Amino acid sequence: MMDIRSGRGGAWPDLSVRVWAPELMDAPDCDTVQLLRTLAQFTWINRVVSRYRTLLTRTVLRDMQRDPGREYHLVDLGAGGCDIPVWLLTRSRRLGLRLRVTALDLDPRTVAWAVQCHGRQPGLTVVQAGAAELARFGPVDYVFANHFLHHLPDVKTIRDVMAKVQAASVRGYVISDIRRSRHAYVGVTVLNGLFFRRSFALADGQLSVRKSFTFGEMRAFLPPGDPVARVVALVPSRLAIVGGAAFESVSFSA
């Protein structure tokens, strides 16, 4: 029987305080087979829980439709296996919109796997680079990231990255992550434990929840130079920083 608890004596982890710890898949010498299996599983995990389709439809795609005759450029930070950029590019084409996506990731194995799987995807460029190098790709229309902030090592780094994101994005940005809660922890444990085995999905998923943020913690990361930046909450257990003039009137109430 799967135990959804962890810690000494089987106690629930303390979710009142954020944990700062590296995940297994972030280690440069982690098992490559398990890493690539985890990346493949993220396609389904993201589809089920991350709400990226709602976020990108109501922000990026809706904004592009205001002026469908021009080409747009989006940078995806920590893009991993590129399942989200591939969906966004496919959806853009179906809507008659022109979009280029530059997908950044620091792990050379992840980049090589993404190129192998999606290197022929029209409009997609995969680059081994991190948020510190964002300025070299900008200015761009949009910056997006999913499950990225909680991988950063400290508050100062998060704030520095958010400042770079705001500076690089001409129209808007969406930075999505997990909302730390018992519901999120149980959900990750059940979903990943039952369906995503022989990978880092379960252990890293549980740790990701413990490393993620409350609403108030995410608000502390809003770039001070952007008066329209705000944190939005979505079910299940999602938080996103949405900013930029083009996204000022976007609503997520429904």
The pLDDT of residue 137 is 92
The pLDDT of residue 253 is 67
**Local confidence pLDDT in tens for the 254 residues of the chain:** 344 444 433 568 999 999 999 999 999 999 999 999 999 999 999 999 999 999 999 999 999 999 999 999 999 999 999 999 999 999 999 999 999 999 999 999 999 999 999 999 999 999 999 999 999 998 999 999 999 999 999 999 999 999 999 999 999 999 999 999 999 999 999 999 899 989 999 999 999 999 999 999 999 999 999 999 999 999 999 999 999 999 999 988 64
Q: Of 154, 155, 145, 152, which is closest to residue 175 (Cα–Cα)? A: 145
The phi and psi torsions of 65 (rounded to 5 degrees) equal -70, -15
Residue 46's contacts (CB-CB under 8 Å, 6 or more residues apart) are: 52, 83, 84, 146, 147
Q: Contact, 112 vs 75, CB < 8 A?
A: no
Q: At what angle do helices 32-49 and 201-211 cross, to 10 degrees?
A: 60
The pLDDT of residue 3 is 45
Q: Contact, 109 vs 37, CB < 8 A?
A: no
Exposed/middle/buried for residue 230 (C-beta within 10 Å: 0-12, 13-18, 19+): middle
The pLDDT of residue 251 is 86
Cα–Cα dist 46/86, whole Å: 13
The pLDDT of residue 98 is 98
Exposed/middle/buried for residue 192 (C-beta within 10 Å: 0-12, 13-18, 19+): buried
The pLDDT of residue 1 is 39
**CA 162 to the chain's CA centroid:** 13
Q: Of 226, 222, 227, 230, which is closest to residue 250 (Cα–Cα)? A: 230
> Using CA of residue 91, residue 134, residue 18, residue 199, what is the dihedral sign?
positive
This prediction's pTM: 0.93
Cα–Cα dist 148/75, whole Å: 13
